[in-house]
Structure 1
């Protein structure tokens, strides 16, 4: 489905463009790679994250802007006052600069690694001993997995895989070779994805050596092309990124799983939107490739370094060097909530809050495991957006079904870049006779909730989970998120009502406690902001605190500007896109905003309203983006437990006081670090200490 957009008129002085703001976020990731205080191998990981982020950006956001250009539209009304054509050019220029900076950072890191006796070598630096190892490794591991395409003699250029890395081979043929008519001939070698990109070579003394798979293949070029006679041979890396927007088939005879599956497969033939090449490639080869591939001026053509797909640095080998990595921290238990006894017995007495990764995600798994075994549990309903590759959540649901529970799973098949994984899980769950719901037509289901019904004293009692993040063991180690465990029947009844909406979605339900998109969130947040404006004008305590992943909805920004002009103080922690411009006199002088990028990915959404001293706190799955407010099913949940409310407010203050990893969001868009004369506070480290202290007190 094409996302609906806000079409009211605005200009670049009033809003940051969404795409350029996202590139500013990715620049903050690059700052982490450049931070010499971060362990070396972690800096490489941040380089990989930067590159992976950029790949996804071009597949989706750049591709969307390109479609606007091809449709002959300017797009100014929903691009923040810039035309789509100018935006494409500005994106390309910004990315070229960032890529150049990332290459310099990589070079600096490699020099620092050498001081630690870790050497990333290329094919020109291989010793005879290493050559023997590499040749054997190539024959055993690489050659069987490698695909080599002789493109010089093909009538039709082959379709290249999205985001795969290729070595473009140029052979200058000798006069004795009569295999080809042309003097220059070309081939493509696809770098195998099934083999680790970094090959660890035998250690020599205290020195460790790593060679990138690309260079290992370069070393073996004469082996690969031994049947040809050539005067010279060269290899340069290229990569294309394709449009990854899903175009859903409207054929009513097909199941939804089949439609999504086909749409995902069609990505492999999507239009190219970015072509990255080794800037040292000769012009003849470059022009040959561009012509054959049909790359034109609306595509982003970016000269790069010798290596592409630097996202693989996320998995750079650890080499047995814990001193070059973050010190591991064991996730903590929730005070007063043991994993040994029954969670239900505890949750029925009071609400509990889980804050991952500082506290262990095993509470979510334990909740579902207990529900699967407990004979009193009759039904389990859960929403799934992204699951771990090996999911204890899925196995718990299957276990529950085998034990006779009525299990309903709302699974979102259009979770971007997880569609194939979710299709596989859907088919697995379906094969176990678990009841599946595939959402609401035209809406993604992005909320993360679970409700179970348990028979207690001949009465059904509901227990619920509401989370800001996915039910995913893997990301729970890397993303910060809140999960509320509750037996508050007011909340659990309304979670159940959301599942009723999935079943019969032509009826709009009413909620007295939860704020639910797409029908109520925008209006409810406007109302809460209006209360703060009224309180400020009446001289009552007022203020707004927000923690978001992204803020891009222009109408919501206008509402925050209105509050600022009324004198309401607004503090925002926005990790990613921020189209609001803080600190502008007459528009947003009462708004301050920071972004925290560090060891973990900041993922919770918090809405905090002063409310004349009776503070209202919500945890949410929704960002302030048009899609979350109007085009998705999202839930914002009020926090009624006073201890949990206090905990969340203290958490926000820890983040707000960060002066190590916080960047100031301002009209300058320079990602300046927040500096002051206070003792250093690195909020993510401080947060772990906060929960450690809570355990000691209890």
Structure 2
């Protein structure tokens, strides 16, 4: 029998269109009536920030391909031109859905609670006096009206900046019979808050651009203002760093940051009431097409909604209940090096506290027995305590080596700053390998002890960022495993020098070996099925888009291997193809926390191998990044990781199930006990963590497992009520 062609384009969804489907799942959370109202508002804002970044980078890349005539199709058989056409159609529909959600659902519901965004003609006398004072004493001196005529070039509008387009008749035209229209614009200054809280007993607000519009006549004295309309331009923000030609990577990054702000215009958002004159003027001079412009019925740039939520007072009932990550007493009362030398320790963020990770670096900085700290940093917060302790370690005479990834997208400026700060403190800062982003999450602390030198490690699926650790789900491991320690040292030697280790004992590194390692594990499951045994794979990741990996999963499904995939975002794999993918099931969870952990599990003929990783199954992760995959060797932690996977797989509240037609359907909960896996972990963080930390208490384990059973899924279903909200 002929082997199928697992790389046939008809077996793949397009990567970019799949991303739009993911953003639509986020939008569903804004429409879900079971979510607290202000959280729904925040979800709507998230869809906008997601979309903005997508245009800045992904659409920018496709535009560049189209401009140079690149016609090679992707894995799904679509050329860049076809992808752009498909995206335009799909994103226009999604934009309409965003504003339908805002105008028909969220704003009326907010008004029911006295939370209103007002226009100037809706203000009370005291409120009008307030904006009058604010405009004349604070705002007006900063504003810069910009005209466009034969003597003045068309203004430059920065990426993501809000601007007011103005159609006017100039003073020298007002007396003429055939008056000529002129174009002008006023940028909305970014140094002021966009959401202005009005003086009143209620939660009443006005947007900054509406204040400027109200007083715009004062900026063009003598002219006749015919029209004002808000618009926003999105530009190409993807960086093009030729590392091989850059003698100093940091200087090259800084140069590209300045250059990036003036990238090519990609998208124009404008108020739907804008006249043809203003609209055509903008399209012409921004060099856009009709497919690139988006008319919106409401305030532009919905990211302002998160700022609105922060200013609302007296409505905690409209937010998620407060959640405090749990930190077991074991971590608080003991030296971490003593604990890790006895057994591996596991953290399940954000349900477990991130503090032990910070403490690990702090203790390393303060412990006189510690000789060296080595760490990779991809994204850190603007006030990172980890940076503070790394600088302290250098000050205390430790050998501190930090790999700072300068090319971490949209964190470049922050990372350049921290790299400079660390160098000033005496740390040895490295920037990784030419052509590769370093995305692995690894800390190595070398300590002198009575029996010799000992290595302690922390490895994680997520960044060393104390801020995102409160909102992203990630898993981390503390270990003093000797072989992993040797591997970790070899990784840092590879990153900082010219070392090329012949092999790794336990850790798996991309781009060197991760792809083949996973291929081999999948092949082993295929062989087990051929031998009449069970074949079973469970994987969790952010995105699945690598064509080779998808083809290998199809090969496994064709052989009869059962495959469960938890994929939060992009998924290019198709399910339900007879003989190709009919043993594959794909779930996606979008909820309160961003699912960020990566888990790779293989049945392995009953040996059950579990791995955590910094890598998604995307080509960029596997082939163009330094990524880390590490095994969970301690049985109790392995058991816990897979119990958490089972919990997520059994979720029937936030789960969507991929269908053969590419749609994502919610789970039909009829006959099932409601199970929100994220809510469950938040509510039971203490029990889950304590269960793991006391593995010798078999009675406690049995009691816990009996009390916390997970309900299996039934068939999926999706339904909306008449208002467009999710039931």
Q: After TM superposition, is the score higher than 0.5?
A: yes
- Structure 2 match to 1:395: 388
CA distance in 2, matches of 1:533, 1:20: 31
- Equivalent residue, structure 2, for 1:311: 303
Q: C-alpha separation between the residues in 1 aligned to 2:179 and 2:580?
A: 65
| Equivalent in 190, 197, 219 of residue 193 of structure 1 | 190
Moved more, 578-587 or 170-179: 170-179
Which runs of no fewer than 5 residues in structure 1 stay unpaired? 1-7
What does 1:565-644 correspond to in 2, within 5 Å?
Answer: 565-644=558-637
Structure 1 SS opposite 2:148? coil
Give the aligned partner of residue 212 of structure 1: 207
| 1:252-401 pair list within 5 angstroms | 252=245, 254-296=247-289, 300-316=292-308, 317-334=311-328, 337-401=330-394
For 2:479 and 2:472, how far apart are their aligned partners in 1? 22
User: 2:246 touches 2:252 (CA, 8 Å); kept in 1?
Assistant: no
For 1:682, which of 676, 681, 698 is the aligned residue?
676
Contact 1:172 1:183 in 2 (8 A): yes
Q: State how far apart, in whole Å, the 1-side matches of 2:95 and 2:246 are.
A: 46
| Alpha carbons of structure 1 residues 467 and 175: separation in structure 2 relative to 1, 3 Å | same
What SS class does the counterpart of residue 223 from structure 1 fall into? Answer: helix
Q: Deviations over 1:220-245 (max 9, x none)?
A: 223333x2331x34221211111122
Indicate how the Cα distance of structure 1 residues 696 and 65 shifts in structure 2: closer, same or farther if over 3 A, else same.
closer
TM-score, L = length of structure 1 = 0.94
Q: 1:458 to 1:657 in 2, by over 3 A?
A: closer
Matched position secondary structure for 1:339: helix
Do the aligned partners of residues 253 and 10 (structure 1) sit closer, same or farther apart at CA in structure 2, a change above 3 Å counting?
closer
Q: Quick check: 460-469 or 35-44, which moved more? A: 35-44
Contact 2:366/2:396 (<8 A) preserved: yes
Change (3 A) 1:560 1:176: closer
TM-score, reference length from structure 2: 0.91
Task: Out of 140-149 and 397-406, give the one that drifted further.
Answer: 140-149
Contact 2:395 2:426 in 1 (8 A): no
Map Cα deviations across residues 377-432 of structure 1 (whole Å, 9 max, x no partner).
01000000001011101111001111111100001000001111111111111111
Q: What's the counterpart of residue 122 of structure 1?
A: 119
Structure 1 SS opposite 2:564: strand
Question: How far apart, CA to CA, are the structure 2 residues paired with 1:514 and 1:673?
Answer: 37
CA gap 1:352/1:695 in 2 versus in 1, 3 angstroms: closer
Match of 1:26 among 23, 27, 35: 23
Q: Does 1:87 align with 2:80?
A: no
**3-state SS of paired residue (2:233):** strand
User: CA 1:550–1:251 in structure 2 vs 1: closer, same or farther (change >3 Å)?
Assistant: closer
Cα distance, 1:493 vs structure 2: 1.6
Distance across 2 between alignment mates of 1:251 and 1:596: 40
Count matched residues. Answer: 683
| 2:700 equivalent in structure 1 | none
Is the alpha carbon distance of 1:579 and 1:237 closer, same or farther for their aligned partners in structure 2, counting shifts above 3 Å?
Answer: same
Q: Which residue of 2 aligns with 1:49?
A: 46
Q: Is the 8 A contact 2:653 2:676 kept in 1?
A: yes
Counterpart secondary structure, 1:511: coil
Q: 1:80: how far off? A: 1.4
Decide whether aligned partners of structure 1 residues 444 and 196 sit closer, same or farther in structure 2, where only a CA change above 3 A counts: same
RMSD of equivalent CA atoms: 2.0
- Once the two structures are TM-superposed, the CA of residue 146 in structure 1 deviates from its matched residue by 3.3
1:58 and 2:84 are equivalent in the alignment: no
Say whether the 8 Å CA contact 2:173–2:179 is kept in structure 1: no
2:12 paired residue number: 15
1:159 and 1:519, CA in 2 relative to 1: closer, same or farther beyond 3 A?
A: same
Identify the residue that residue 540 of structure 2 maps to in structure 1.
547
Retained in 2: the 8 A contact 1:68–1:75?
no
SS at match of 1:72: coil
- Please list the CA deviations of residues 254-303 of structure 1 after superposition, one character each: whole Å capped at 9, or x if unmatched: 41100011112111121111122222110011111222222246x62222
Q: Deviations over 1:640-687 (max 9, x none)?
A: 111111110110011001111000112222221122432111110112
Distance 1:695 1:30 in 2: 32
Q: Which moved more, 1:507-516 or 1:616-625?
A: 507-516
Q: Does structure 2 conserve the Cα–Cα contact (< 8 Å) formed by 1:337 and 1:343?
A: no
Change (3 A) 1:650 1:48: same
Q: 1:539 to 1:662 in 2, by over 3 A?
A: same
Match of 2:685 in 1: 691
Retained in 2: the 8 A contact 1:545–1:607? Answer: yes
Aligned-residue offset at 1:139: 2.9
Deviation at 1:177, TM superposition (A): 5.0
| CA–CA distance in structure 2, aligned partners of residues 176 and 130 of structure 1 | 36
